[in-house]
Amino acid sequence: MHEKQNTAALVSLSAMAADLPPSSWHALLCLVLFSAVVASSSAMDCDGEDRAALLRVKAQLGHPVQLSSWLPATNCCAWEPPAVFCSAAGRVTGLALSSLDGVRAPVPPALGELPELVILQVQSVRGLSGPIPSSFGNLTRLEDLNIAGTSISGPVPDFLAGLTSLRTLVIADGKLAGPIPGCLGSLPDLRYLDLSGNMLTGAIPPGLLHGSFRFLILANNQLTGEIPSDCGDDDVDTLDLSHNLLVGDPSPFLFGITKPVAKVDLSWNELEFDMTDVSFPHHLTFLDLSHNRINGSVAKSLMDVKLEHFDVSYNGLCGEIPAGRFMSAHGAESYEQNRCLCGTPLPPCTTGMLGR
């Protein structure tokens, strides 16, 4: 019976991925993998204090119908859906709350009363509002915090820097405001940070991420200033700073033939640099520099980069587009609304155009 329940929970979690933004897949994968490790734990009755805390969470959320199986005197390790995962000792170590109908409530402080939590995921609960409660500072074992698709507001709390086990921090698609606290850089294992889709302001603090295979996703905010040079470190895999108000020239530290970065999205900013002699990384698969103030000509180094997505539209580029190798994969929409670009896939160059 318990094996069937956990299998159903895994299937439910996998189905969630179809409705999640790409930035949320990472933490969901962590939760699915984590659930596989503890799949047999529902045979152990849950800790009484953890069950009481979960019942307080249910009450603070207004008793949503999806939590109807959360009842006193029952084994909370077997509660599903949503998913509750426990250790072999019956402590709640993973919790996934998703698409709870009718919720109109602040973030439940009782979530911070689950001290053994390793993974906490809250997805697509638009009625969840207010700041992140200070009780979250008690979750010192938390490794993956993923909150997306809510109406959570207020600042990014400084006390998150006390959760020194955090590897993944996602608070996306909400109403956070104010600056990104630089103290997040003190988290020694933080490799995946997604604060996209909020109303954050100010400069991007340097040194936010550590370790290998880093993801920094701060798109769709109101961030200003220059991009920190450590965003070009050799351990960065994905950098998405699109739809902000960033300025300056990040090309000297972001790009280079041997850089391992796979995705760079800097679109819809106010960046300004000459692209002509930029050496783009051969590992790149996604490059979006559209809607900036980039000038010069399209870099010839792009001929050797096999990009699945490429966009330099709405800039000030001029001259003949390099031809050959991987350039043939890019259509005219990749180059539209520049100053005077010409050549395939745009109309042929004329003497007058090349002389501008």
Instruction: Indicate whether 2 belongs to any domain.
Output: no
- For residue 10, being part of any structural domain is answered with no
59: pLDDT strictly greater than 80: yes
Q: Coil, strand or helix: which one is 25?
A: helix
Residue 81 in contact with residue 12, Cβ under 8 Å?
Answer: yes
CATH of the domain at 164: 3.80.10.10
Q: What is the mean pLDDT of residues 266-291?
A: 98
Angle at alpha carbon of residue 76, lines to 83 and 23, rounded to 5°: 20
Of residues 83 and 186, which shows the higher confidence score?
A: 186
CA distance 71 to 73: 6
- Asked whether the predicted pLDDT for residue 351 surpasses 90, the reply is no
Q: Cis omega (within 30 of 0) on the bond before 345?
A: yes
> Is residue 281 included in any domain, yes or no?
yes
Q: What is the pLDDT of residue 11?
A: 36
CB contact at 8 A, 234 and 259: yes
Return the SS3 of 333.
Answer: helix
Residue 62 lies in a domain: yes
How many domains does the chain fold into?
1
Q: Is 250 left (phi over 0), alpha (psi -120 to 50) or beta?
A: alpha
Question: Where are the extended beta strands (E) located within 173-221?
Answer: 175-178, 192-194, 199-202, 214-217
pLDDT of residue 19 exceeding 50:
no
The verdict on residue 35 lying in a domain is no
Of the pLDDT bands very low, low, confident and very high (cuts 50, 70, 90), residue 257 is: very high
Instruction: Say if residues 95 and 118 touch (Cβ distance below 8 Å).
Output: no
Distance CA 239, CA 229 (A): 12
Amino acid at 187: L
CB atoms within 10 A of CB 307: 18
Burial-class residue 308 by CB neighbours within 10 Å (0-12, 13-18, 19+).
exposed
Share of the chain above pLDDT 70, in %: 86
- For residue 302, is pLDDT > 70? yes
Range with the poorest average pLDDT among 23-27, 58-62, 251-255, 308-312 = 23-27
pLDDT band at residue 43, thresholds of 50, 70 and 90?
A: low
- Give the pLDDT of residue 16: 41
Quote the pLDDT of residue 40: 44
Exposure of 341 in the CB half-sphere (CA atoms within 13 A): 27
Whether the pLDDT of residue 265 is over 60: the answer is: yes
d(CA 70, CA 122): 17
Of 166 and 212, the structure prediction assigns the larger pLDDT to 166
pLDDT, tens only, 173-197: 999 999 999 999 999 999 999 999 9
Whether residue 54 lies inside any domain: the answer is: yes
Q: Secondary structure of the chain: what % helix, strand, coil (to 5)?
A: 30, 25, 45
User: pLDDT by residue (tens digit) across 94-150?
Assistant: 999 999 989 999 999 999 999 999 999 999 999 999 999 999 999 999 999 999 999
Q: How far apart are the first and last CA of the chain?
A: 74
Q: Does residue 353 sit within a domain? A: no
Does residue 300 lie in a domain region?
Answer: yes
Residue range of the domain that includes 268: 44-342
Among residues 143, 58, 166, 161, the alpha carbon closest in space to that of 108 is found at 58
Confidence bin at 328 (pLDDT 50/70/90): very high
